[in-house]
Structure 1
């Protein structure tokens, strides 16, 4: 039986092979930054995150997220390179103090990576164009009965530390909703159970 040639075949773009990003640390450029408000799972409260969209700026994987974005064919294209940092509530809890410490580490990493820059806490959009190191960890995804592993942004560090290799890879993060963890790490499909969404770009 012959295969019917699809309409407009000459202009159809072949699906590109998705590049797999290894776990590690990369020198990145911030492309966009903003604060987003989330609702808790039970709807009883809200919380905020500083969301930083970036792309890898140097090395073999330079432009990784731009390539990924361009390769997406659906109308709901999403920019996958996003580092999310919880913002403190100043509620006096131990968890809030940890959040403050994590935020300070992020801000200091950006300031030390961009001589003369000082974050003013009023214009997070001015983070655009700044350089920063980003450490990635292996995170497990789960979708139905399928699951696998993917390198995801974990935290910021200085560009100098990335260049000098002065960082330690974080432990892998399993997904409690995964049916099995014995799936190859190079699976192409990727979804998370978290309520975070990738930024349209």
Structure 2
């Protein structure tokens, strides 16, 4: 093991989980996945009691824990337009972001630094080991002002757990020797 002066290291109690609810978020990074036609958006909490929630070591090393995707497939154009409209409503006055201006270049990297409202919900799932777990996910995006005003609803947890059928109870097995004998009638 590497030699360190452990007397100088501060103890860590581990990260706290973000509560479900509405948050004003800031977009930290955007990755285009053209083969699947979606954007992977990394965010952090921008305002309030939980501002900077993902800026700790865990959040920096586990971007998956604070990402969401927005599809721009032909079948999802209307939903992507809603996302763009919420970005405009949240950033037009402060950063001059408009859908019309952004459409000229359509560069997803222009989203970095913009704020947006997001409702975070709990998702229940079954992991690869068959264990039931829970995670947080962006349920819906809003204009940042709607979040500040409390104009949103947090949905019930989304349950995508695998329903594993109950194993049949073992039955007492008869001895094989009973069946090996001739039937007397």
TM normalised by structure 1 equals 0.67
Q: Distance in 2 between matches of 1:174 and 1:16?
A: 29
State yes or no: 1:171 paired with 2:156.
yes
Q: Distance in 1 between matches of 2:132 and 2:161?
A: 11
Aligned to 1:42: none
Q: For 1:92-111, what aligned pairs fall within 5 Å after superposition?
A: 96=75, 99-111=76-88
Please give the per-residue CA displacement for 1:132-165, whole angstroms capped at 9, x wherever unaligned: 1111111013222322323212221101100111
Root-mean-square deviation (Å): 2.6
Decide whether aligned partners of structure 1 residues 71 and 178 sit closer, same or farther in structure 2, where only a CA change above 3 A counts: farther
- Structure 1's unaligned 5+ residue stretches are 1-5, 38-45, 91-95, 181-201
SS in 1 for 2:37: strand
Q: Distance in 2 between matches of 1:137 and 1:127?
A: 23
More helix by share: 2
Matched positions, count: 155
- Counterpart of 1:63 (choices 49, 52, 57) is 52
Q: Distance in 2 between matches of 1:178 and 1:57?
A: 37
Aligned to 2:17: 20
The answer as to whether partners of 1:147 and 1:179 remain within 8 angstroms in 2 is no
The answer as to whether partners of 2:27 and 2:43 remain within 8 angstroms in 1 is yes
Q: Distance in 1 between matches of 2:164 and 2:10?
A: 35
- Structure 2's unaligned 5+ residue stretches are 166-185
The answer as to whether partners of 2:126 and 2:132 remain within 8 angstroms in 1 is yes
Task: Pick the structure with greater CA Rg.
Answer: 2
Decide whether aligned partners of structure 1 residues 61 and 87 sit closer, same or farther in structure 2, where only a CA change above 3 A counts: same
Deviation at 1:169, TM superposition (A): 1.3
SS in 1 for 2:16: coil
Aligned to 1:131: 115
Aligned to 1:117: 97
Q: Distance in 1 between matches of 2:79 and 2:58?
A: 33
Decide whether aligned partners of structure 1 residues 65 and 23 sit closer, same or farther in structure 2, where only a CA change above 3 A counts: same
